Structure 1
Amino acid sequence: MPPSDSLFYDSVPISDSFLRLSDPVQFTPLPDTWVLGVADIVDSTGEIERGRYKTVNMVGAAVISGMINALGGRVFPYVFGGDGAGFAVPGEDARIARETLAALQSWAETEFAITLRAGLVSVADIRAAGRDLRVARYAPSTGVDYAMFTGGGLAWAEAQMKSGRVAIPPAGLDAQPDLTGLSCRWSNSPARHGQIVSLVIQPTLESSEADFAALSQSVLSIAEGLDRAGHPVPQKGPPMSFPPPGVDIDAHVSRAGRNLLVQKIRLMIENMLIGLLFKTGVRLGQFEPNHYKEMVSRNADFRKFDDGLKMTLDCDPSTLEQITRMLEDAQASGKIRYGLHAQQEAMMTCFVPSAMSDDHVHFVDGASGGYAQAAAVMRA
């Protein structure tokens, strides 16, 4: 593989303006030699109806944390979708991606009785099918940046995975991906201005890139009028309660084959100590609790482009009406499909390599169905 291909993502410019990324010219084509991995949960709608959306989010985020750890922390583009995830890596890492996705499927079944499906396809095959895969990087803070995808390749790969044409079989039942750093110890963030709105917008085949760019800019411009552009996580960080609401899920994620009850007790003690630090604001070594909470909010991934536009917004009724009216008109003209799901709280799933640095990532979704429910509305 040419060095320029393996180092491609390092050369992609990083933007601090999300609105600018509605312009397709900001996206760079991935090399043909790269591969795209996709994964999602079978019957996520049913899992949500059974009250398991926090678990669904955790399994979706596990795809990203498993790959980050498998690649030793090397940067690569990924996107969180609520009930799944997508990522791209150089072709030389295809074996690692395949083995990690296989292990994740077995782990999800063993720990949560959830069926995770996964697929892997080359970027060259995506282009041979008439789609493209282009990427951009958006930095919500100086600590992290998130990948954005366009070109139709991600949606095409997901369809191929669901049809079984690029499926990866699960590994053995004892397979254990490395999920170090994955957690969900924060409490949900209640809406402060109306409702937490999860929104999924996708262009149709009749929509040109310019059409969708213009619509995205209009929707984002309306959302910019919201407090902090609709950011659903408080500026000083999300709330924390004891016992933490996701401790059972965290225990399944972090036990790595150890006794589940022992791991849960260990996490309860750990969370109690962490909670005391956050409540008192006392600095412990290099860990400064108030700074960390502010960075959690700043780093939160509450909007993204992934062959469409997804947002989780704290939205007032008037702004929601404006956005909905615009989307209804665009859908009536055949330019887009969209789905919207409103709820009272936002939730977060986190990957924290180290609490001592600012590179922790936080995936935001609605707390009662979020993106998965919005996508189900769109499909219906």
Structure 2
Amino acid sequence: MKDLHSAFYENLPLLRDFTRLADPAQFSPMPDDWFLGVADIVDSTGEIARGRYKTVNTVGAAVISAMINAMGGKLFPYVFGGDGAAFAIPPSEIEAARDTLSAMRRWAEEEFSMPLRAALVSVADIRKAGRDLRVARFAPSSGVDYAMFSGGGLAWAEAEMKAGHHMIAPAEPGAQPDLTGLSCRWSNSPARHGQIVSLVVEPTASATERDFADLAQSVLSASEELERAGHPVPMNGPPMSWPPPGLDIDAHVSRNGRNLFLHKLVLLFQNLLIAILFKTSKKLGQFEPEHYRTMVSSNADFRKFDDGLKMTLDCDPATLRQIEHLLKEARGRGKIRYGLHVQDEAMMTCFVPSATRDDHVHFVDGASGGYAQAAAAMVR
């Protein structure tokens, strides 16, 4: 029989209306003895300026894919932040989380020369610091659901990590996290209605939960008027081209110590077969290309709550002006901080445990800086 305490997250209700997440009552307190893991890339803004944003996204998503594999099918809450990620696990999984974060730090440095910070902090310590950690489950489709966080605990843990507290040391040289399933062969999705807007909104210390909930509801109401609520990925999935963009990154992710050049050749051949399947819409065994493309769009995580509101929207100029007006008014009252970054395309980073099931995960961000650039604009 399952330990009901460890199955806390699995037992939470699934919400299917994203706008309901503006209501704080939809979030449940995390158990005191659970742990929060956080990781982010050191100087991600500088890495983006050097043209490495797809790599930044991949390393951030790799934290989640490595944890999913380490958990062996057990459900747990996680959130992708563009240049990093966060997750929560019960005490029984603390060693798996520590080993995974340790391996991730070593791998990111060796494979991409990209320093990664990582930390683990108990929920009890978060509450001792006067913050909270609450979680909800949002299901954008029948195939997947994503965690949403509130309470200020996630932001506090990230600040603690950046100050050097609760840090996880890198593993020994050569350590390899299990990144099976982390790959994205899609091209970027161009804006269809104006521009791709990456938005990060956070409450200030003077804002009550109700203040922020009201603002979030207003912003969501504006975005709901967009086609498909601003979903930046077309209904039949993003474009696909050959050779695929980011082949070099994919090769680094999946080579697992193999020769990089030879592994690229293998991936080129694999991707050619995949491109042909999608071009012809031919079934291969249980794999149905058209169904898969539709599920890619349905499963895409383009908006989230993680101690604030983050969205990547395909936004027309009038709606963008409306959203900016709401944000400027709330900032003028000292209730929020926010940042926007505008670009021409959206990109995806994908975790696909099986192409014949519907539980593949797709993280959406802006293609030229996205959430990381929006967050940088917020603090200027």
TM range (shorter): over 0.9
Q: Deviations over 1:267-297 (max 9, x none)?
A: 1000000000000000111000000000000
Q: Distance in 2 between matches of 1:368 and 1:56?
A: 11
> Structure 1 residue 222: deviation in Å?
0.3
Alignment correspondent of 1:230: 230
Alignment correspondent of 1:287: 287
Unaligned residue ranges in structure 2 (runs of 5+)? none
> Structure 1 residue 255: deviation in Å?
0.4
Unaligned residue ranges in structure 1 (runs of 5+)? none
Secondary structure (helix, strand or coil) at the match of 1:11 reads coil
> Structure 1 residue 60: deviation in Å?
0.1
Tell whether the 8 Å contact from 1:143 to 1:360 is kept in structure 2 after alignment: yes
Q: Distance in 2 between matches of 1:149 and 1:6?
A: 18
Secondary structure (helix, strand or coil) at the match of 2:287 reads coil
Alignment correspondent of 2:194: 194
Q: Deviations over 1:212-232 (max 9, x none)?
A: 000000000000000100000
Alignment correspondent of 2:365: 365
Tell whether the 8 Å contact from 1:109 to 1:116 is kept in structure 2 after alignment: yes
Alignment correspondent of 1:185: 185
Letter of the aligned partner of 1:317 in structure 2?
P
Q: Distance in 2 between matches of 1:296 and 1:7?
A: 27
Q: Distance in 1 between matches of 2:7 and 2:182?
A: 26
> Structure 1 residue 147: deviation in Å?
0.2
Secondary structure (helix, strand or coil) at the match of 1:169 reads coil
Secondary structure (helix, strand or coil) at the match of 1:125 reads helix
Q: Deviations over 1:153-193 (max 9, x none)?
A: 00000000000011111011110000000012110000000
Secondary structure (helix, strand or coil) at the match of 2:96 reads helix
Q: Distance in 2 between matches of 1:120 and 1:53?
A: 25
Letter of the aligned partner of 1:99 in structure 2?
D
Q: Deviations over 1:271-326 (max 9, x none)?
A: 00000000000011100000000000000000000000000000000000000011
Q: Distance in 1 between matches of 2:12 and 2:123?
A: 17
Alignment correspondent of 2:9: 9
Q: Distance in 1 between matches of 2:76 and 2:316?
A: 35
Alignment correspondent of 1:46: 46
Letter of the aligned partner of 1:278 in structure 2?
F
> Structure 1 residue 3: deviation in Å?
2.8
- Give the TM-score, by structure 1 length: 0.99
Q: Distance in 2 between matches of 1:29 and 1:70?
A: 24
Letter of the aligned partner of 2:151 in structure 1?
G
Q: Distance in 1 between matches of 2:210 and 2:150?
A: 13
1:112 aligns with 2:112: yes
Q: Distance in 2 between matches of 1:295 and 1:375?
A: 29
1:337 aligns with 2:337: yes
> Structure 1 residue 10: deviation in Å?
1.1
Counting only pairs closer than 5 Å after superposition, residues 31-180 of structure 1 correspond to structure 2 as 31-180=31-180
Q: Distance in 2 between matches of 1:134 and 1:377?
A: 27
1:278 aligns with 2:278: yes
Letter of the aligned partner of 1:122 in structure 2?
S
Between the aligned residues of both structures, percent identity stands at 71
Q: Distance in 2 between matches of 1:213 and 1:353?
A: 35
Alignment correspondent of 1:22: 22
Letter of the aligned partner of 1:230 in structure 2?
G
1:326 aligns with 2:316: no
